[in-house]
Amino acid sequence: MKVIVLGASHGGIEAVEALRLMCPKANVQWYDKGDFSSTSAKDLEAIQQQGVSIFSNTEITKVEPGKHQVEIFNHMTGDTRTEGYDKIILSPGAKPFILPVPGQHLKNIGTMSSRQDLFNMRKHAADPDIKNVVIVGAGYIGTGAASLFAESGKKVTLMDINNRPLSSYLDQEFTDVLEKEMKDRDVELALGNSIIEFVGDENDRVIEVVTKKGTYSADLVILSAGNRPNTEWLRGAVELLPDGRIKTDEYMRTSDPDIFAIGDATTVWYNPGKMRMNVSLGTNARRQAHYAVKNLYEAIHPLPGVQGSSGAHIFDYYFATVGLNDKTAKKLGIEIKSVYLEQGTALFSPGTTVMFKLVYDPTTLEILGGQIMSKVDLTANINTVSLAIQTGCTLEQLAYADFFFQPELNTPWNVINTAGLKALLQEN
């Protein structure tokens, strides 16, 4: 069986690795229009030694399901050729959303979508000529960039159309603390704001960002205002959803049963909301990749769904979130109840606290979400909440779950236990 894999992101990498494990006799060809920079040279060599043909700087520009062939363009030589296949696993990813405002072409306006972008950002952080940094988008990427540049001594402005940073991930109890932390670190928050234009100098370098609420000096602008699926070239080959994402079933199959799709350009079953939606996380893409390979020969292994577990580290705070929060539940029209608490992180460390919120179904009392934040890294606790959501765990089960206790490490009642007990009291 000949399998073509497109894309060197999380999904593409995992698909190739899964193919070598589960389909060792398959003829695998791996294509990416880049240089596979997200995979080390040592790993690439090992993959090639396992019989995978790797084609860098080579883009699949057309898929023809009726002919079971693809059209391939080599960016190095300029040549175009066709290649047959038995199965395809598409991981085309998504591309950063570029604000459609005047001045978007100016120099020193960049995105954070690749390993090279991350390298450039760290280089800019060490550049003494860059003093004012404006970051557009207060999600994980934007707040992480704000932390890096502020700690590098830059004047940072973080702006977002939403009124709170990280509003898609954390509820207000947590974002209030993070906002104060950012302000204490001299990060200017320009929230609930939208950009009108970028202004440049005579050398076409950005110098100002003009918004509805004011004008901000900028030697560097980083755009992290979401992404759009990289799927225009697939129109007509497979069925696309109204937002441009690839329509797939629970087996990762597209409208053509021999073409599979994974990653940011697809939707996935979201267990807390009991619906399909886009949950753009590298961990989800890797799970999808495994299930695509498991279903190549026969579609009998449905993906069990995801909870949207994620986490980050901003300045002194570690936080993680899973499942529904106030904003997501409202957006999806799902009724929820919750409890919030703060408690010590360890019996012998009374000065350090952890913030925790547990979200549940008011009718069934099943767990639907959770958020945790502390100056101590307790983010792994969110994995327990994720498993509780996946298995349909109730407040009663979570409140009395058996968690270990050591005085120098934690408290007699784990924070998850305490939240479950508090929720039970709230219900009774």
Mean pLDDT over each residue of the chain, to the nearest integer: 94
- pLDDT (mean) for 313-330: 97
CB 373 within 8 A of CB 170: yes
Instruction: State the pLDDT at residue 89.
Output: 98
Nearest residue to 416 via CA among 390, 393, 385, 394? 385
Per-residue confidence at 248, pLDDT binned at 50, 70, 90? Answer: very high
Is residue 18 predicted with pLDDT exceeding 90?
yes
Per-residue confidence at 391, pLDDT binned at 50, 70, 90? Answer: very high
Question: What span, in angstroms and rounded, lies between the C-alpha atoms of 263 and 306?
Answer: 13
Handedness of CA 56, 58, 59, 64 (dihedral sign): negative
Instruction: State the pLDDT at residue 347.
Output: 66
Helix 41-49 × helix 10-22 angle, to 10°: 30
Lowest mean pLDDT among 3-7, 39-43, 245-249, 368-372: 39-43
Per-residue confidence at 350, pLDDT binned at 50, 70, 90? Answer: low
Kindly report the CATH number that applies to the domain delimited by 2-94+228-295.
Answer: 3.50.50.60
Question: What span, in angstroms and rounded, lies between the C-alpha atoms of 74 and 84?
Answer: 16
Q: What architecture (CATH level 2) is domain 98-225?
A: 3-Layer(bba) Sandwich (3.50)
Q: What is the pLDDT of residues 413-427, one digit of tens each?
A: 999 999 999 999 999
> What share of the chain has pLDDT > 70, as a percent?
98
Phi, psi of 47 (to 5 degrees): -65, -40
Per-residue confidence at 97, pLDDT binned at 50, 70, 90? Answer: confident
Question: What span, in angstroms and rounded, lies between the C-alpha atoms of 264 and 324?
Answer: 20
Is residue 13 predicted with pLDDT exceeding 70?
yes
Topology match between the domains 2-94+228-295 and 98-225:
yes
**Between β-strands 317-323 and 195-200, what pairing exists: parallel, antiparallel or unpaired?**
unpaired
Nearest residue to 188 via CA among 222, 144, 154? 154
| Local structure of 413: helix, strand or coil | coil
Tokens representing 190 are 């320009």
CB 394 within 8 A of CB 366: yes
Question: What span, in angstroms and rounded, lies between the C-alpha atoms of 309 and 384?
Answer: 10
Is CATH 3.40.50.300 the right assignment for the domain spanning 310-427? no
> Among all chains, which residue has been given the structure tokens 């784990």?
414
Is residue 405 predicted with pLDDT exceeding 70?
yes
Nearest residue to 157 via CA among 227, 96, 217? 217
Question: What span, in angstroms and rounded, lies between the C-alpha atoms of 3 and 254?
Answer: 15
Q: Domain map of the chain by residue range?
A: 2-94+228-295, 98-225, 310-427
Q: What is the pLDDT of residues 251-275, one digit of tens each?
A: 999 999 999 999 999 999 999 999 9
Instruction: State the pLDDT at residue 348.
Output: 64
Instruction: State the pLDDT at residue 294.
Output: 97
Per-residue confidence at 76, pLDDT binned at 50, 70, 90? Answer: very high
Is residue 9 predicted with pLDDT exceeding 90?
no
Phi, psi of 350 (to 5 degrees): -65, -20
> Among all chains, which residue has been given the structure tokens 């099943």?
366
- pLDDT (mean) for 122-133: 90
Q: What is the pLDDT of residues 135-170, one digit of tens each?
A: 999 999 999 999 999 999 999 999 999 999 999 999
